[in-house]
Amino acid sequence: MITELPPGPARFVDREPEQREVLGALARHSDADRPLCVVLNGLGGIGKTELAFQLGRTLLRGDPGYQVLYVDLDELRDAGALDAMDALGHLLDTLDSAEALRAHSYQARCKQYWRLTRNRRLVLIIDNARFGTEVTPLLPASGTAVVLVTSQGPLPDLDDAAAVDLPLSLLGPQDALELLRSVSSDPRLAAEPEAVRGLVRLCSGLPEALRVAGRWVNRHRLRPLDRLVREFGAGLEEQEMSARERSWDMAYGSLGPAAAHLYRLLADLPGPTLTVESSTALLGQGEDAAVDALEELHNAGLLNVRGERFPLPVPLRAHALRWARREADSADRAQARGRILRWFLRQAQRADLFAAGERMTFAPPVPPLPGAPDVTLADPRETDDKEEIRRRRAQAARWLHAERHALFACVDLAGAPEFGLEAAALAEPLWTHFLDHPHHARAIRAFRAGRDAALRTGNLALLLRMRCQLARPLWEQDRFDEAAEELAQAEAAAALLGEEKEEQRLKASLAEFQGRLHAARGQWEEAAGRYSVALQVHQRIENPYGVMLQTYQLGTAAAGMGRTQEAAGLLSRAHEMARELGRERMTARTGFALAGVLRSLDRKQEAAELYQAALDSARARESEHDRLRILEALAALAAETGDTESAARHREAARSIREQNGLEED
């Protein structure tokens, strides 16, 4: 059961009329195919998100059959814009849909999400929406679902979907006082009622401001309350500051030098979240100083330091930027940007090495940064235990995925004039991430930035690599001519390379990419020609893995041309080579391809054994994508041999995977 709700507050004040309105609307809701959609809108800091969580808890208590999902759209924004594909992917992740079975096109992904949410009892909380068009693709296809949207203002372009538009008002004086006392039990609140009323007035009924004020009172135990009120209100008339910014300014003013310094640097943090390690790299004063600063920011109400990653809301980042500009930190900020960029690049290179193993890369590795600890990732090369190797590789791949927003933001940051190859260096580990998480729009942008960085610096090998990386997501989006142009330009760069082994490997890689583009276009004869060129290079430089891979590619091309006997021989050799090299995934992949050819040659028993071995490997690797295609192949093979019981069993297992991942029936 999915329940993405944080612990409730110690005391939730007011909002009872709003809760009654939502519950009443739910009782009246009768559309069997469309969810009840509620838009909670109001000023920043007025308590929209906390009310949405409170409503989620109330609904869950009333009906434990609800599943509660949460998505913060601000955490998914890229340069201020939201990619609906990414938001849908986040929700599909939450619903346990396998990444490898994720649809690549927007319309197909929408349909997958609709199938997966149809008739489910869901409470979906969509935080920080800016436009109704951001919400519409995320609406579940279920009349028993409730969608709670938070927004700074109404969403008029959501009129057709929004059954309830609920603007939140500021807290009244009594409720505001009650909230302040729930945060602070300081005796001065009872002893100095006039000062308390002044503090409440200054907070303007904003729950967030009242919580910061309560922490301020708790922190300054010896100061008279009327002095605290004067400090809080100082200069407000001239600055015309909102109560929310006023409370943040008050909290900022209470910080020590290191915490204030870190807060200002958060304006330039890549990505929407930070960790202890990234905060340490950003601050540049060692881990102890960073931990102390984070705790101070948390206690001041400027950060929510819970879990492994701490969100940095967009308005808070803007406030940090205002203070950074006011303090004239331009040189220090520039140093911090360079430091955090190099730190993220180093971590991405380590995660790439651990997740994908040693492979052909051309960007120089970043050395450890003084005073900035590495992320804790275990090196798979330091153990012989297969399960432990698999676990460590998966851990590294998870880090790349968890920090993808920061890494893509780093690519944008690396486009500044003071940086050189960093964008191309980042694109290398993002290639590993792309293979597991094919987000085409972002990958194309990042690989294009990597190509441009390599072009600026004149690094031919890296330029060739970047053009190849860019070609694949282009052709997977049916942009064949653009992909072909990138590979043509890569070929021109390859002509300028020398005859060193790595340069020869790179030329062979280019030939393989050219072959795969031809294969994607159904041009099997041309594909085979390019695979043969790559094979000859790998044989000449004695690269066993390259020989195996190109033998496999030639086998698939032969099968595509209908030359089944030739395909069987090539794939059989590739399968044996993969097994000898200890490449588990390629052993399963070549075995699956060989089984398909043997099946067409009526060698069904051999095909069944290969399918079963590939299925066992897919289960061990927890690859739902491979499991699905192998189960469907086994079902078809069993039907061909008259084994109806096995065919039905395999079809049911495949149907279960499709249903769990919102896929259409094949």
User: Among 156-165, 171-180, 310-319, 657-666, which stretch is predicted with the lowest mean pLDDT?
Assistant: 156-165
pLDDT in tens, 35-72: 999 999 988 878 889 899 999 999 988 888 899 999 99
Question: What's the pLDDT score for residue 238?
Answer: 39
CA atoms lying within 13 Å on the CB side of residue 121 = 12
- For the stretch 455-475, pLDDT in tens is 999 999 999 999 999 999 999
Among 193-197, 473-477, 544-548, whose mean pLDDT is lowest?
Answer: 193-197
Span 176-192, mean pLDDT? Answer: 85
Task: Identify any residues that bridge with 273 across adjacent strands, giving them in sequence order.
Answer: 311
pLDDT at 242 (0 to 100):
66
Q: Of residues 279 and 205, which shows the higher confidence score?
A: 279
pLDDT tens for 260-307 read 999 999 999 998 899 999 999 999 999 999 999 999 999 888 888 888
Looking at per-residue confidence, does 491 or 78 come out higher?
A: 491
The architecture (CATH level 2) of 567-666 comes to Alpha Horseshoe (1.25)
Helices (H), 581-643: 584-600, 604-621, 624-640
Q: CA–CA separation, 260 vs 327, rounded Å?
A: 10
What percent of the chain is modeled with pLDDT above 90?
A: 57
Q: Could you tell me which CATH number the domain at 16-167 has?
A: 3.40.50.300
Give the model's pLDDT for residue 217: 83
Say if residues 574 and 596 touch (Cβ distance below 8 Å). Answer: no
pLDDT at 602: 94
Q: What burial letters (b/e) apply to 617-655, b meaning 16+ CB within 10 Å?
A: bbeebebbebbbbbbbbbbebbeeeebeebbeebbebbb
- 583 phi and psi angles, rounded to 5 deg: -90, 95
- Mean pLDDT of the region 189-216: 82
Query: What value does the mean pLDDT take over residues 539-546?
Result: 95
The reported pLDDT for the residue numbered 463 is 95
pLDDT for residue 160: 63
Q: 3-state secondary structure string, 492-548?
A: HHHCCCCCCHHHHHHHHHHHHHHHHHHHHCCCHHHHHHHHHHHHHHHHHCCCHHHHH
Residue 75: strand, helix, or coil: helix
Reply yes or no on whether the pLDDT at 356 is more than 50. yes
Tell me the residue ranges of DSSP E strands in 310-358.
Answer: 310-311
Q: Which helix (H) or strand (E) holds 71?
A: strand 67-72
In the chain, domain spans: 16-167, 173-253, 567-666
Alpha-carbon distances, residue 38 vs 127, 142, 207, 225, 265 (angstroms) = 12, 15, 21, 40, 36
Q: Summarize pLDDT for 638-651 with one digit per residue, the tens.
A: 999 999 999 999 99
For residue 163, pLDDT beyond 50 = yes
For residues 431 and 477, give the distance between their C-alpha atoms in angstroms, rounded to a whole number. 16
| Cα–Cα dist 539/512, whole Å | 14
Per-residue pLDDT tens over the stretch 119-146: 899 999 999 999 998 999 999 999 999 9
Residue 99 or 393, more confident: 393
User: Buried (b) or exposed (e) across 458-485, using 16+ Cβ within 10 A?
Assistant: ebbbbbbbbbbbbbbbbbbbebeeebbe
Q: Are 461 and 497 in contact (CB under 8 A)?
A: yes
pLDDT at 621: 76
pLDDT class for 224, splitting at 50, 70, 90? confident
Count Cβ atoms within 10 A of the Cβ of residue 236 and give its class: 0-12 exposed, 13-18 middle, 19 or more buried: middle
Q: pLDDT for 486-538, tens place per residue?
A: 999 999 999 999 889 999 999 999 999 999 999 999 999 999 999 999 999 99
